[in-house]
Amino acid sequence: MNVSVFGAGYVGLVTGVVLAELGHQVTLIEPVKEKLQVINNGRSPIFEAGLEALLQRVMDQGRLHAKATAERDLADADIIFIAVGTPPLPDGEADLRYVRQAALSIGGGMTGKKRQVIVNKATVPIGSANLVEVWIQDGFRDLHGRVPPTEWYAVASNPEFLREGTAIYDTLYPDRIVLGADEAWAIDRLKELYAPIIQQSFAPPFKDEEVPLVTGVPVDVTDRISSEMIKYAANAFLAMKISFANEMANISERVGANVVDVMHGIGLDRRIGAKFLNAGVGWGGSCFGKDLSALTLTAQEYGYHPRLLQATMAVNRDQRLLVVKKLQEELKPVKGRRVAVWGIAFKPGTDDLRDAPAISVIEELLRLGVRVTAYDPIAMDNLQRERPDLEIQYANSAEEALIDADALILITEWDSFREIPLETIAARLSRGIVIDGRNLWDPNEADRVGINYRSIGR
Ligand SMILES: NC(=O)c1ccc[n+]([C@@H]2O[C@H](COP(=O)([O-])OP(=O)(O)OC[C@H]3O[C@@H](n4cnc5c(N)ncnc54)[C@H](O)[C@@H]3O)[C@@H](O)[C@H]2O)c1
């Protein structure tokens, strides 16, 4: 099939590359010149495992092209994805300006040559598929003075559930594919597009890849509004699980329980499930915070007070700064001390800094007069570029960050940090204080090597 994808970010680029790998002909539409140039040089503008190799392969095979505008290609597209960003506005509402721009272009490029499915893959407030339809009509009307015939197109919702860091894997082996549309032909076309994934009939793209034992992927077909709501509900539930684990951690600490054991114990219950129960510095990233805020606003617009959503966000806000409170308890006063911060990306495996807990922690440390040396294996360039205002030092290695530091705060649990012996950490820190925001180390081991060790909920 011919597929156009608006937006070559974490979602659009991965979706486009994977669909091309599955044999479709894909055009990416990306207005940011620098990104486009990087992609057209066969490079990935984002850090995502396996993405660059796959991108190069599908480009060499002529199955993926990236352009700044794609009016001519749009007429030939069987399916057009909208995968642009929907960042939060200051009041928490989702900013739909990029979705609108994309929908206007789609309307402007519509010729009726082919019946087309326009798919919202971006996370958009409930009811946005209706807006997309209106904007497509506006784009067409601007050129032709009338709205396009309804039989030319259908607007569908197909929310994305990939996780940064494992995005290609998640796209090839998803737990489910959610499709929301009112027209049966649009659902059929999307099922055809995803057939190799639904049937798991594709050849795994990487030789040494670990392939899960999936024989087929469930397709969840629903209406557009429910589909949009599924995405928000899924993210709200996942964020709530983490906030719940953190609340249990805070109670565990007070009563002398070990939250890791507690979460293990409850996770064995299949009604609860073991995942997303890690206590720590809390959740971050481009999605949870913005999606919870947007869903809260939607609920309020309709006269409902979403207490669980608000508590989920409040617990997370406090949790982020808990590591700083623990540092203050161990290092008095903190003013003028040097602290190493390990991990800046919002989670391991990505260079994404959107709503990263590390940034909240660094800002708070600086506010308290702490001198900060930060290290992250991937995300340091992004932090330097995005936050030149942060007066911190950057180290060339995790070990280097410890030089002259009184304490270490671990925020992002990159695998490479696990490989550094605790003895090395103990020897380099002048006061041997470690605040482990991800429960990465064994408290007994830390004790054995003489580290003054604090973690979360243990
Ligand atoms: N990042 C994730 O892990 C993730 C997971 C699931 C869902 N989502 C959702 O997917 C959407 C995209 O997220 P992302 O992380 O890929 O964002 P992103 O910011 O990485 O990428 C968006 C891209 O769209 C481009 N763009 C902006 N306006 C455009 C236009 N008019 N035409 C074409 N391209 C345009 C931007 O330049 C950017 O490259 C969001 O709604 C997000 O909530 C993201």
Is 29 strand, coil or helix?
Answer: strand
Which residues fall within 8 angstroms of residue 57, CB to CB, at 6 or more apart? 21, 205
Q: What is the pLDDT of residue 446?
A: 98
What's the mean pLDDT in 194-205? 95
Inform me whether the pLDDT recorded for 160 exceeds 80. Answer: yes
For a mutational test of ligand 1's pocket, the pick from 160, 169, 291, 346, i.e. the residue with the most ligand atoms closer than 8 A to its C-beta, is: 160
Cα(149) to centroid(ligand 1), Å: 29
- Provide the token pair at 244: 């719940």
pLDDT (0 to 100) of residue 406: 98
Angstrom distances, CA of residue 292 to CA of 98, 108, 178, 229, 336: 20, 33, 20, 12, 37
| Shortest-distance Cα residue to atom 35 of ligand 1 | 7
72 pLDDT exceeds 80?
Answer: no
Element at 291 (helix H, strand E): helix 288-301
The pLDDT of residue 440 is: 98
Alpha-helical regions (H) of 46-183: 51-60, 71-76, 97-108, 128-144, 167-172
Residues enclosing ligand 1, CB less than 6 A?
A: 6-12, 29-32, 35, 83-86, 98, 101-102, 122-123, 160, 162, 164, 286-287
* Residue whose CB lies within 8 A of the most ligand 1 atoms, among 10, 118, 120, for a mutation test: 10
Q: pLDDT by residue (tens digit) across 382-413?
A: 999 999 999 999 999 999 999 999 999 999 99
> What is the Cα–Cα distance from 143 to 114, expressed in whole angstroms?
18
Q: Which of the four pLDDT bands, split at 50, 70 and 90, describes residue 213?
A: confident
Ligand 1 centre from 78 Cα, in Å?
A: 21
Burial state string for 318-354 with b = 16 or more CB within 10 A and e = fewer than 16: ebbbbbbebbeebbeebeebbbbbbbbbbbbbbbbbb
State percent of the chain over pLDDT 70: 100
Question: How much of the chain exceeds pLDDT 90, in percent?
Answer: 96
What pLDDT score does 404 carry?
Answer: 94
Query: And the tokens for 438?
Result: 């991800």
Measure 152 CA to ligand 1 centroid, in angstroms: 26
Domains located in the chain, CATH noted: 2-222 (3.40.50.720), 242-316 (3.40.50.720), 321-454 (3.40.50.720)
Q: Name which of 232, 231, 233, 259 is nearest 174 in CA terms.
A: 231
Assign 345 a pLDDT band (cuts: 50, 70, 90): very high
Tell me what pLDDT residue 367 has.
98
Q: What is the pLDDT confidence band of residue 92, given thresholds at 50, 70 and 90?
A: confident
Tell me the CA–centroid distance for residue 103 and ligand 1, in Å: 14
- Per the model's pLDDT, the better-predicted residue between 70 and 299 turns out to be 299
DSSP 440: -
Å from CA of 76 to ligand 1 middle: 23
410, two tokens: 């671990």
Q: Which of 126, 286, 293 has most ligand 1 atoms within 8 Å of its beta carbon, as the pocket-test mutant?
A: 286
Mean pLDDT of 228-254: 98
Whether the predicted pLDDT of 71 surpasses 80: no
Atom of ligand 1 nearest to the CA of 29: 33
Give dist(CA 332, CA 349) in Å, integer. 34
pLDDT at residue 395 in the model: 98
User: For 347-357, what is the mean pLDDT?
Assistant: 95
For residue 295, the one-letter residue type is: L
Closest ligand 1 atom, CA of 159?
A: 7
In angstroms, how far is the first alpha carbon of the chain from the final one? 53
Tell me how far the alpha carbon of residue 60 lies from the centroid of ligand 1, in angstroms: 25
Q: Tell me what the pLDDT averaged over the chain comes to.
A: 96
pLDDT at residue 70 tops 90: no
pLDDT at 17: 98
Give CA 41 to chain center in angstroms: 25
Average pLDDT over residues 187-202: 97
The arithmetic mean of pLDDT across residues 218-241, rounded, is 98
Which ligand 1 atom minimizes the distance to the CA of 32? 37
- Length of the chain (residues): 458
The model's pLDDT over 117-156, given as tens digits with 9 standing for 90+, comes to: 999 999 999 999 999 999 999 999 999 999 999 999 999 9
Q: Residue of the nearest CA to atom 21 in ligand 1?
A: 9
From the list 439, 117, 93, 167, the residue with the least C-alpha distance to 281 is: 439
Residue 13 C-alpha to ligand 1 middle, in angstroms?
A: 9
394 is catalytic: no
Give the pLDDT band (50/70/90) at residue 210.
Answer: confident
What pLDDT is recorded for position 239? 98
Residue 206: the pLDDT is 82
Residue nearest to atom 34 of ligand 1 (CA): 7
316, 246 contact by CB (below 8 A): yes
**β-bridge partners, 389:** none
CA of 287, closest atom in ligand 1: 43
Choice among 59, 129, 287, 339 that is catalytic: 287
214 contact partners, CB below 8 Å, separation of at least 6: 173, 200
Q: What is the 3-state secondary structure (H, E, C) of 311-330?
A: HHHHHHHHHHCHHHHHHHHH
Which range among 36-50, 207-221, 245-259, 318-332 shows the weakest confidence by mean pLDDT?
207-221
